[in-house]
Amino acid sequence: MKIHYCTDYEEMSQAAFESFYAGLKTSPRTSICAATGHSPTVFYEKMVANYQEQSELYNALQVVQLDEWFGVSADDPNSCEHYIQNKIVLPLNITEDRYLSFKSDATEPEAECMRVQKELNKREPLDVCILGLGKNGHLGFNEPAAILSDVCHRSTLSEASMQHSMTKTMTHKPQYGLTLGMKDILRSKKIILLVTGTGKELTIKQLLTQKVTSQLPVSFLWNHPNVECYIDSESL
């Protein structure tokens, strides 16, 4: 894992985008896994700004949703689907055949996870996985646990996840999430980890010890050969 200390959120977002852009220029048929939340927002805005200048680079871009709140309508402005549609899919003109996501209103979540997993199994590994750092060190909704799941699954949300900023105005707060498993995250050819936000100081310190433990899922990124970690120094 390469650690890049940035002076602030803007510099972090710009540096991460430049890393992504360098790869996109050489391989426009890029597939990305997209996280949601505050951490990657400006990164995505920079993608959109670049698309407006070089749209041809994005004509074959494929997008995979990292996770979703289970039971939250896709129309809910706090859903991951709403976020990705408005930040990535619509602005970059991603066609339906180039977007894979969870159906949060699925009546059988396990079957829904199996559907997404089967589609992932047909594909080559993701080219770039864009991740944020949760306050408890989760990756997607792979929460701290004795054992982490390899495949897409319904996850019981931790207290930290249920207190996420996206849930604050939800009428009914979710208890479960649908998420990619650790296998597909770690199979990605490249991972961009964005570290920003308050209340993460201890988690950052734990990550930087390089100790790999299922109680800190993000620590498994130390086992990956190509991780670019951008840390907003204002969050330290």
Q: Is 4 a catalytic residue?
A: no
Catalytic residue of the set 78, 138, 153, 184:
138
Q: Residue 117 and residue 125: Cα distance in Å, rounded?
A: 12
Catalytic residue of the set 68, 81, 136, 153:
136
Q: Is 143 a catalytic residue?
A: yes
Q: What does the DSSP assignment read for 5-50?
A: EESSHHHHHHHHHHHHHHHHHH-SS-EEEE--SSTTHHHHHHHHHH
SS3 81: helix
Q: Is 136 a catalytic residue?
A: yes
Per-residue pLDDT of the chain (236 residues; tens, 9 = 90+): 999 999 999 999 999 999 999 999 999 899 999 999 999 999 999 999 999 999 999 999 999 999 999 988 898 899 999 999 999 999 999 999 999 999 988 999 999 999 999 999 999 999 999 999 999 999 999 999 999 999 999 999 988 887 777 766 677 778 999 999 999 999 999 999 999 999 999 999 999 999 999 999 999 999 999 999 999 999 99
Q: For the chain, what is the domain count?
A: 1
Q: What is the pTM of this model?
A: 0.96
Instruction: Record the tokens describing residue 24, joined without a space.
Output: 């996109």
Catalytic residue of the set 76, 127, 143, 184:
143
Question: Could you list the residue range(s) of the whole structural domain that residue 174 is in?
Answer: 2-235
Q: What is the CATH number of the domain that holds 187?
A: 3.40.50.1360
How many other β-carbons are positioned within 10 Å of the β-carbon of residue 194? 28
Q: What does the DSSP assignment read for 159-186?
A: HHHHTSGGGTT-SS--SEEEE--HHHHH
Residue 104 contacts residue 178 (beta carbons within 8 Å) = yes
Q: Is 138 a catalytic residue?
A: yes
